[in-house]
Structures are given as structure tokens and as C-alpha cells.
């Protein structure tokens, strides 16, 4: 049997149960990632690996925000991402009326070609479960979705069915991440996301959002100390210079801020070593793949 893999965007307005669903799909550990402020373009929220497929769930910040607050730029970024993923899951709260934000999201989705599954969550909270049919009709009137799956993320009901529906639409592909990533390795992703966040914050957009951070090495050096070495890749020498700063001041600040946050998060002392390298050709590679660190060899 062929193995399938791909990117899945979980979208929906706040509080509909996206985090709960994600946890039900991939396990508990990922919650830590979902609480991070949304400064990056996309973030991996979790990976579900089975015998037959691997799904990489990403966040699409901005898609649920009103357009006037967001600006065209972010809307465009969000739409670009949604066009690059393999499946979109729009999570809605079936126990609530169709919210104006959902109507806005559906409108945005007109510009996207990716298949969209509608996950009608919180069916356990419906007085009468037959009401979910009415809800489906209401959403269907907005646009025809590719799939409709009533679920209860909280109780884990029909979550596997949703996973099947997603899997059906994934392309053939490899396991991008090791099977045990969720249990063993999410730390490196958290580290790279946090470092990246500090870079963007402290350089105030002088370094573009496409900057990539690759964690090269993580090692426990004693019971309470974690040694981490990471490379920040920029596209140009000028960006590298900004990032390093006068006498290394900028890089030092990035490192200090990231270290503090990581220590609080992991409850360990962190020894963080940061390097800056220029990597010119990465734009040519498929944006999503490289952004998520699949090309770490160069
Ligand atoms: N009854 C019921 N409650 C649920 C279900 N799924 C999630 N919830 C509850 O809905 C609330 C919001 O859930 P989250 O998973 O944090 O929602 P979210 O969409 O990730 O929210 P944001 O992070 O704000 O975007 C929590 O109190 C959950 O316990 C469900 O299937 N049934």
C-alpha cells in the first residue's frame, strides 16, 4: 500500500475546539505549541503518524481575523498557505449558530482550491443530535464542502473518522518526521520557533519573515541543563550583519530572550548557542518544506 503524507490546515474562529481536536488527533504534548503567540507565518501544531499516513497540522494565523484589522498582506499570506496545503479542516461549533466570522472565512475560502472538510464539533453539547443535520444544511448553503464530519473533540467521538477523511485526500508521500516526533522531539521545533520569534521581534522586520532556524543539536548535559545549538539562516549578507549586530549585540539579545523563555517553558537550565549563516538558494525550494526544516543539510 502506498504511504501518504501532507499538510493539513486546521482553521476556525476562536473557541470552537481546534486545540482540543488537535490533541485528540495527535496526542497531548502539542498543546504547549498552541499557546505560543502567533508571530510566525505558520507553525506546526502537531504531527499524526500512523501505519498508512503522516499528517502535519499547521496553523494559519490571520484567516479568522476581520480583514480590516489584518491587512491585505496577512490575508494574502494566509491564502497562499491555504493553497499550498493538501487539506483544510474548517472547525465549527455545531452547538452554536453560524457565526459572522465563519461566513467571512467561507468567503475567503472562495479564493482557495484546496479541498475543505467541515468538522462540526461539540455535537455532545447539542440537545438533540439531529440538530447537526440542520447545521450541515446551514453551512451547505454557504458553500458546498468536500466532507462533513460531526465530531466531539472533547470525547474523541468520530475523530478517527475525520482522520480517515483527511487521509483519503492526502497525496502519496514519505514520512517527513520520525514516528516518535510527538513524544520525543517537539522540543527542537519549539526552540526554533521561539528563536525565530525573537529574531523577528528584535530586528523589527529588517530580517524577513522567511528567516529559518534549524536546531542542529540538542543534548542533555546534566540532570537540569540542556545544551542547544541552532543556526539562523538568512538570505543575504546584509541580513546576517543586522542579525549579529554591533559586536554581536543583537544576536546576544536574541539568545538571551529565547533562553529565558525556554528555561521557563522546559523548567531546565538552557545553554543556547546561536550561529548565523547565509543560505541563498532556499527560496527555490518548495516554500513549506523548507520553512519546516526539511532541507537542513546545506
Ligand atoms: N462540549 C464540548 N466542548 C468542547 C469540545 N471541544 C472543545 N470544547 C471546549 O471548547 C473550549 C475551547 O476549546 P479549544 O480547543 O481551546 O478551542 P480553540 O478553537 O483551540 O480556541 P483558540 O485557541 O482560542 O482558537 C474548551 O473549553 C473546550 O473544552 C467538544 O467536542 N464538546
Q: What is the DSSP string of 77-118?
A: HHHHHHHHSSEEEEEEETTSPPPHHHHHHHHHHTT--S-EEE
**b/e string for 126-163 if b means 16 or more Cβ within 10 A?**
beeeeebeebbeebeeeeebebbbbbbbbeebbbeebb
Of 288, 290, 259, nearest to 86 by C-alpha is 288
**Nearest protein CA to atom 8 of ligand 1, as residue:** 17
Residues making up the chain, counted from first to last: 298
For residues 3 and 174, the answer to whether their CB atoms sit within 8 Å is yes
pLDDT (average), residues 223-237: 87
CA of 169 to the centre of ligand 1 (A): 25
Q: Return the C-alpha cell found at 114.
A: 484546496
Pairwise CA distance, residues 54 & 35, whole Å: 23
Q: For residue 205, how many C-alpha atoms fall within 13 Å in the half-sphere facing its CB? A: 0
Q: Is 240 annotated as a binding residue?
A: no
Complex confidence, ipTM:
0.97
Q: So what's the architecture of 4-168 in CATH?
A: 3-Layer(aba) Sandwich (3.40)
Q: Is 75 annotated as a binding residue?
A: no
Q: Could you tell which of 10, 12, 17, 18 is best to mutate to test the pocket of ligand 1, judged by most ligand atoms within 8 Å of the CB?
A: 17
When pLDDT is cut at 50, 70 and 90, the band that residue 219 belongs to is confident
Q: What is the pLDDT of residue 279?
A: 78
Pairwise CA distance, residues 198 & 204, whole Å: 10
Pairwise CA distance, residues 116 & 112, whole Å: 9
Q: What is the pLDDT of residue 44?
A: 67
CA of 154 to the centre of ligand 1 (A): 8
Three-state DSSP class for residue 39: coil
**Nearest protein CA to atom 2 of ligand 1, as residue:** 122
**Nearest protein CA to atom 32 of ligand 1, as residue:** 122
CA of 272 to the centre of ligand 1 (A): 35
pLDDT (average), residues 74-79: 70
Q: Is 16 annotated as a binding residue?
A: yes
Sheet holding 212-222, edge to edge: 212-222, 225-234, 269-278
Ligand 1 site, residue 54, Cβ cutoff 6 A: no
Q: Which of 1-10, 34-43, 185-194 shows the lowest per-residue confidence on average (mean pLDDT)?
A: 34-43
Identify the helix (H) or strand (E) that includes residue 2. Answer: none
Ligand 1 site, residue 35, Cβ cutoff 6 A: no
Pairwise CA distance, residues 29 & 122, whole Å: 22
Of 254, 258, 277, nearest to 266 by C-alpha is 258
Burial grade of 64 (CB within 10 A; 0-12, 13-18, 19 or more):
buried
Q: For residue 93, how many C-alpha atoms fall within 13 Å in the half-sphere facing its CB? A: 15
Ranges of CATH 3.40.50.300 domains, the chain? 4-168
Fold of 185-291: GMP Synthetase; Chain A, domain 3 (3.30.300)
How does the average pLDDT of the chain come out, rounded?
81
pLDDT (average), residues 179-203: 71
Ligand 1 site, residue 22, Cβ cutoff 6 A: no
CA of 122 to the centre of ligand 1 (A): 8
pLDDT (average), residues 151-170: 96
CA of 213 to the centre of ligand 1 (A): 31
Q: Return the C-alpha cell found at 171.
A: 497525496
Residue-wise pLDDT tens digits, 128-157: 988 999 999 999 999 999 999 999 999 999
CA of 19 to the centre of ligand 1 (A): 7
| Percentage of residues in the chain having pLDDT higher than 70 | 77
Q: For residue 174, how many C-alpha atoms fall within 13 Å in the half-sphere facing its CB? A: 5
Q: What is the pLDDT of residue 259?
A: 95
When pLDDT is cut at 50, 70 and 90, the band that residue 204 belongs to is confident
Residue-wise pLDDT tens digits, 275-295: 999 876 544 444 545 444 444
Q: Could you tell which of 19, 60, 124 is best to mutate to test the pocket of ligand 1, judged by most ligand atoms within 8 Å of the CB?
A: 19
Q: Which of 31-35, 148-152, 204-208 shows the lowest per-residue confidence on average (mean pLDDT)?
A: 31-35
Pairwise CA distance, residues 142 & 144, whole Å: 7
Q: Is 15 annotated as a binding residue?
A: yes
Ranges of CATH 3.30.300.20 domains, the chain? 185-291
Ligand 1 site, residue 263, Cβ cutoff 6 A: no
When pLDDT is cut at 50, 70 and 90, the band that residue 185 belongs to is very low
CA of 13 to the centre of ligand 1 (A): 11
Q: For residue 140, how many C-alpha atoms fall within 13 Å in the half-sphere facing its CB? A: 9
Tell me the longest C-alpha to C-alpha distance in the chain: 67
Amino acid at each position: 500500500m502506498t504511504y501518504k503524507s501532507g499538510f493539513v490546515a486546521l482553521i476556525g474562529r476562536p473557541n470552537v475546539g481546534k486545540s482540543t481536536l488537535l490533541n485528540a488527533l495527535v496526542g497531548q504534548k502539542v498543546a504547549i505549541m498552541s499557546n505560543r503567540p502567533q508571530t510566525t507565518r505558520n507553525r506546526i501544531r502537531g504531527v499524526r503518524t500512523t501505519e498508512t499516513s503522516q499528517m502535519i497540522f499547521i496553523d494559519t494565523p490571520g484567516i479568522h481575523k476581520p480583514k480590516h484589522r489584518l491587512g491585505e498582506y496577512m490575508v494574502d499570506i494566509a491564502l497562499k498557505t491555504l493553497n499550498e496545503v493538501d487539506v483544510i479542516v474548517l472547525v465549527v461549533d455545531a452547538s452554536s449558530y453560524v457565526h459572522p466570522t465563519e461566513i467571512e472565512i467561507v468567503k475567503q475560502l472562495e479564493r482557495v482550491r484546496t479541498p475543505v472538510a467541515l468538522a462540526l464539533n461539540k455535537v455532545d453539547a447539542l440537545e438533540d443530535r439531529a440538530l447537526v443535520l440542520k447545521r450541515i444544511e446551514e453551512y451547505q448553503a454557504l458553500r458546498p464542502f468536500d466532507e462533513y464530519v460531526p465530531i466531539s473533540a472533547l470525547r474523541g467521538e468520530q475523530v478517527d473518522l475525520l482522520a480517515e477523511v483527511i487521509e483519503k485526500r492526502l497525496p502519496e508521500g514519505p514520512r517527513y518526521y520520525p514516528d516518535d516526533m510527538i513524544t520525543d522531539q517537539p522540543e527542537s521545533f519549539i526552540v526554533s520557533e521561539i528563536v525565530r520569534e525573537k529574531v523577528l521581534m528584535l530586528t523589527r522586520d529588517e530580517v524577513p519573515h522567511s528567516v529559518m532556524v534549524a536546531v542542529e543539536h540538542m543534548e542533555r548535559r546534566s540532570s537540569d541543563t540542556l545544551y542547544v545549538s541552532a543556526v539562523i539562516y538568512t538570505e543575504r549578507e546584509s541580513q546576517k550583519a543586522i542579525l549579529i549586530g554591533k559586536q554581536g549585540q543583537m544576536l546576544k539579545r536574541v539568545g538571551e530572550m529565547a533562553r529565558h523563555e525556554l528555561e521557563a517553558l522546559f523548567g531546565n537550565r538552557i545553554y543556547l548557542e546561536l550561529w548565523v549563516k547565509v543560505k541563498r538558494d532556499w527560496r527555490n525550494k518548495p516554500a513549506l518544506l523548507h520553512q519546516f526544516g526539511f532541507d537542513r543539510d546545506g
